[in-house]
A = this chain, B = another copy of it.
Amino acid sequence: MIETRTFEISTQGFSDIIDITGHVEREISASGISDGIATVFVPGSTAGITTLEFESGAVSDLRQSIERQAPQDIHYEHDARWGDGNGFSHVRAALMGGSFTVPFNDRRMLLGTWQQIVLCDFDNRPRSRKILVQILGQ
């Protein structure tokens, strides 16, 4: 069995990190599938998905780490060619990846107690993101 479900998230961009665990949980619950995997996927090339203990300290630490990994204030060829100023966003998204697969049993994801699924929006402006949850199982 397979079900495709979606939800929308508004972001501020600039490495906005948003807890989407509850949304994913609801989509799995609402599906007719009790055991399987859910692939959480953000279409687009300026956002990523990972997991984090979602508390303000770790959120701030991850943002600073990403800033060191692909700084906003260095030269990007993408910007020189296209002038949209989000070369850093593209690099950050490619390094993190926008697909995350999580197992679930009895409609409950098998995450750790202090582990949340987070959307990281790396674009240089507020965005509305459509998140896909592709659910496979029985």
Contact = CB atoms under 8 A, between A and B. Distances in A.
A13 interface: no
A81 B55 contact: yes
Contacts of A110: 4, 41, 43, 132, 134
A101 B116 CA distance: 19
Q: How many copies does the complex hold?
A: 3
Interface residues of A, number: 59
Given A50-B94, A100-B97, A102-B41, A1 B138 contact: yes
Contact of A95 (B55, B65, B80): B65
Contact of A62 (B55, B94, B114): B94
Contacts of A41: 102-103, 110
